[in-house]
Structure 1
Amino acid sequence: MKTLEKYIKRRYALFIFTFIVIILAAILIIKNSIDAQHSDAYLINTCGKQRTISQRVAKLAYKIGSAEQTEQRDIAHNELGDLISEWVHIHQYLDSVNNGKHDVIDSLLHVNKEYQHVMIIASQDLMQAETKEAIDKNIAIISRAEGPYLSNTELLVQEYQKLAESNLVNLKNITYILAIIALLILLGEYLFILVPALHQLLQRGNALVASNKKLAISEQKLKTNMAELQKLKVDLETRETFNKAFIEQIPAAIAMLDNDLRYIAVSKTWIKDYKLEGREVIGRTHYEVFPEIGEDWREKNRQCLKGAIDICDEAPFIRKDGTTQWISWDTRPWYKADGSIGGLVMHTSDISEFKFNESQRKQVERILHETNEVARIGTWEVDLVSSQSYLSEVVREIHGISKDYEISVDNGVLSYKEGESREKIQNAFLEAINYGKPYDLELELINANGNVVWVRSIGQVERVNGKTVKVYGLLQDINNFKLAQLELKKVNTQLKAIFNSKAVAMVTTDLDGVINRFNPGAEILTGYTAEEMVGKERPNLYLLKEECTNFVTDIAKHYNKKEEGFNAQYELAKHNRYDTREWTYKRKDGKLLPVQLTLTSIKDEENTLIGYLGVSTDISEKKAAENKLLHNNQLLNYAEELTAMGNWKWDTVNDQVEWSKNLYNVFKLNPDTKNLSFNTYFNFVHPEDKEKVTVYFRITKEEKHLKSFTHRIIDGEGNLKIIQLLGEVITDASGEVVEMIGTCQDVTDQKLVEIELLRKNYILNFAERITQMGNWQWDVASDTLKWSSNLYRIFEYDENITDLNYDTFFSHVHPEDKDYIADFVEKSFKEKQFSSKFIHRIITSKGNVKTVHFLGEVILNGQGEVVEMMGACQDITEQKMEENKFRGLLESAPDAMVIFNEHGVIQLINKQSEKLFGYAASELVEQPVEILIPYQFNDHNSSYHDGFFVGPSVDTMGVGNAQELFATHKNGNEIPVQISFSPLETEEGVLVSAAIRDITVQKLAQSKIIAAKNDLEDLTERLIVRNNQLADFAQITSHNLRAPVSNLNALLTFYLESNDEDEKRFLFKKFESVINHLTLTLNTLVEAIKIRNSVGKKQENIKFDDVLTKTKEILSAEILETAAQITANFSEIPEIRYYKIYLESIFLNLLDNAIKYRAKDRPPEITVKSMTFKGRTKLVISDNGLGINLERHGEKIFGLNKVFHRHPEAKGLGLYMTKTQVEAMGGEISVTSTVNEGSTFTIIF
Structure 2
Amino acid sequence: METLSINFLIKDSPTAVAILDNDMRFISHSNIWLQEFNIKDKVIIGKSYYDVIQNTPQEIKDIHQECLKGTSNTNKGKKFIYPDGTIRWFKWKINAWKNEDESVGGLIVIHEDITKHKKREELLKIAESVGRIGGWELDLKTNVVYWTKVTKEIHEVPEDYMPSLEEGINFYKEGEYRQLIGKLVGEAISYGKPWDTELIIVTAKGNEIWVRAKGEVETIDGKCVRLLGTFQDIDERKRAELEFKAATERLAIATKGANVGIWDYDIVKNELVWDDNMYRLYGIKKEDFNGVYEAWQAGLHPDDKEQGDKEIALAISGEKEFDTEFRVVWPNGEIRYIKANAVTQRDNEGRAIKMIGTNWDITESVRAELKNKEISERLHVATRAANIGIWDYKINEKLVVCNDYMYDMYDIPKNSSNLLNEWMHRIHPEDKERIHDELEMTIAYDKPFNTQFRGIRPNGDIIHIIAFGEAQKGKDGKVRNIIGANWDITELKTTKLQLERVQESFKGTFENSAVGMALVSLDGKWISVNKGLCDSLGYTEKELLQMTFQELTFPEDLNTDLKLLQQVVDGKISTYQIEKRYYHKKGDLMHAILTVTAVKDIEGKLSHFISQILDISSRIHAENRTKKLLDVTKEQNESLLNFAHIVSHNLRSHSSNLSMLSGFLASENDADERKNLMNMLNNASESLAETVMHLNEVVQVKVGASEKIKNVNIHRTLKNVEKNLSVLLKEKDVVYSINVPHDLKIKGIPAYFDSIFLNLFSNSVKYAAPERQLFIKIDAVVKDDVVTIAFEDNGIGIDLERHGKKLFGMYKTFHRNKDAKGIGLFITKNQVEAMNGSIEVKSRVDQGTTFLLTFSKI
Fold equivalence (TM over 0.5): no
Structure of greater relative contact order (alpha carbons < 8 Å, 6+ residues apart) = 1
Task: Give the greater-gyration-radius structure (CA).
Answer: 2
- Comparing both structures, which one devotes a greater share of its residues to helix? 1
Larger strand fraction of residues: 2
